[in-house]
Structure 1
Amino acid sequence: MQEFILNDRVTHDKYGLGQVVGIEPGGALLCDFGTQKVKILSPYPKLFKL
């Protein structure tokens, strides 16, 4: 499983390029993809660090 930290640049198969803007207890990530912010739950399917 990949580890993510704040401000990591990421890409998602559905949402495209984005940035990690929040990490919640339990490991959920809040990612800003420009047009929307999306919460992605662990184990982060389709999300990859750039």
Structure 2
Amino acid sequence: MTSSTTNRRVLSTSPFQSAAPEPIEPFEVNDLLTHDRHGMGRVVAVGPDNKIHVDFGGGARTITLPNPKVTRL
């Protein structure tokens, strides 16, 4: 017998299902947010590939979304 993962069926009640990806919250320039490590900041630019540039007061940092440490205010 051969083992093939492409033909395996996943039951809807299986606890081993892959988790659905988190929805990405859209940010715009001048949105306020908090970061668990850096504190409060303001979005200064929105880049490609789900990246935002945030000014936390000590300089801008790039954050890739979704990020569990980021909360919109």
TM-score, normalised via structure 2 length: 0.63
Partner of 1:2: 25
Structure number, greater radius of gyration: 2
SS where residue 10 of structure 1 aligns? strand
Where is the helix percentage greater, Structure 1 or Structure 2? 2
Sequence identity, in percent?
38
* Counterpart secondary structure, 1:19: strand
Q: Which has the higher contact order (CA 8 A, sep 6+)?
A: 1
The answer for unaligned runs of 5 or more in structure 1 is none
Q: How many residues align?
A: 50
Structure with a larger share of its residues in strand: 1
**Structure 2 segments unaligned to the other structure (5+ residues):** 1-23
Deviations 1:1-50 (A, max 9, x none): 32211110110000001000011111100000001211001212311110
Aligned to 2:63: 40
Length-normalised TM-score, structure 1? 0.87
RMSD: 1.0
Amino acid at match of 1:36: G
